[in-house]
Structure 1
């Protein structure tokens, strides 16, 4: 079951029929993709991703990220993408306080409020507006205390070389 896809569709107040129609696919096929009984082709994943403003790699994260996951799982590194409105479109290895199914499609300030959240959003916005990479130390409160991160942000581009968002890699620093 792709619960993240269901949450995202419902948050955007779309029906399965509306997503399927806009993505130019059959509603029953979309329902199977949402339930996890079928995997979309890369072309179909891209069409659905365009409708929902997400990264199409989310559909294949179990397959394409195996070497990446083996190297980074349980590491102090969080990798994420956001769109131009700073909504998460992809995330890997989030802090245990965050459920990946509820993070996709949300902005940081919809998930938590703190000076660190404001700083993180400011970094992403500056990356998108300037088109430059930025690195900054940011502290974020979590259930296990205040954690300090070395955050590296860089622009995300589409095939036409237009900036479509920002990618961040956040490494938890030792106290």
Structure 2
């Protein structure tokens, strides 16, 4: 079952029929994709993803190559993509203080944090805006205040381009630094 897909559909107040129509597929086929009994082709995944404003790789995230997943799982490294509105379209190895099923489709300031959005949140969002606007990669250290102290991340951010060379978002790789 793709709970993240069901949640995303419900958050956007869409029906299975609306998504199926938007992706030009049969509603029963979409229901099977949502229930996890069928995997969409790359073409169908791309159409659904385009309609929902997400990255199509989400449909295949459970099939990431084992070496990549083994190397990064439980590491202090988080990799993510966002769209032009800074909404997450994909994430691997989410930060410990929020869950994957609450991330997709949301901006950093909309996530369920232990704390309200803080200076670190705003700096991360500003970094993504800068990269998208200027089309240049940026690397910086961003501190995030927590109840028991501050955590710092070394964040590398670069633009994401479509096949026509237009910027469609930003990708970040964030490494938690030891204090």
TM-score, normalised with respect to structure 1: 0.96
Give per-residue Cα distances to partners, 1:8-58, cap 9 Å, x unaligned. 111111111000001000101111111111110111000000000111000
2:100 aligns with 100
1:83 aligns with 83
The alpha-carbon deviation at position 65 of structure 1 amounts to 3.7
Give the number of aligned pairs. 175
SS at match of 2:46: helix
TM-score, normalised with respect to structure 2: 0.94
Instruction: Give the Cα–Cα distance (whole angstroms) in 1 for the partners of residues 99 and 46 of structure 2.
Output: 24
Instruction: Give the Cα–Cα distance (whole angstroms) in 1 for the partners of residues 59 and 122 of structure 2.
Output: 30
> Which consecutive unaligned segments of at least 5 residues does structure 1 have?
none
Instruction: Give the Cα–Cα distance (whole angstroms) in 1 for the partners of residues 73 and 19 of structure 2.
Output: 32
List structure 1 runs of 4+ shifted beyond 2 angstroms: 64-67, 141-146
Instruction: Give the Cα–Cα distance (whole angstroms) in 2 for the partners of residues 96 and 35 of structure 1.
Output: 27
The alpha-carbon deviation at position 143 of structure 1 amounts to 6.5
Which is worse superposed, 7-16 or 46-55? 7-16
2:170 paired with 1:166: yes
The alpha-carbon deviation at position 146 of structure 1 amounts to 2.2
Give per-residue Cα distances to partners, 1:76-103, cap 9 Å, x unaligned. 1000000000000000011222110110
1:42-53 map, 5 Å: 42-53=42-53
Instruction: Give the Cα–Cα distance (whole angstroms) in 2 for the partners of residues 72 and 141 of structure 1.
Output: 24
Instruction: Give the Cα–Cα distance (whole angstroms) in 1 for the partners of residues 16 and 148 of structure 2.
Output: 38
Instruction: Give the Cα–Cα distance (whole angstroms) in 2 for the partners of residues 19 and 144 of structure 1.
Output: 43
The alpha-carbon deviation at position 141 of structure 1 amounts to 3.5
2:17 paired with 1:17: yes
Instruction: Give the Cα–Cα distance (whole angstroms) in 1 for the partners of residues 150 and 81 of structure 2.
Output: 23
Which is worse superposed, 118-127 or 55-64? 55-64
2:133 paired with 1:129: yes
SS at match of 1:45: helix
CA RMSD after TM alignment: 1.2
2:2 paired with 1:2: yes
1:140 aligns with 144
The alpha-carbon deviation at position 144 of structure 1 amounts to 6.1
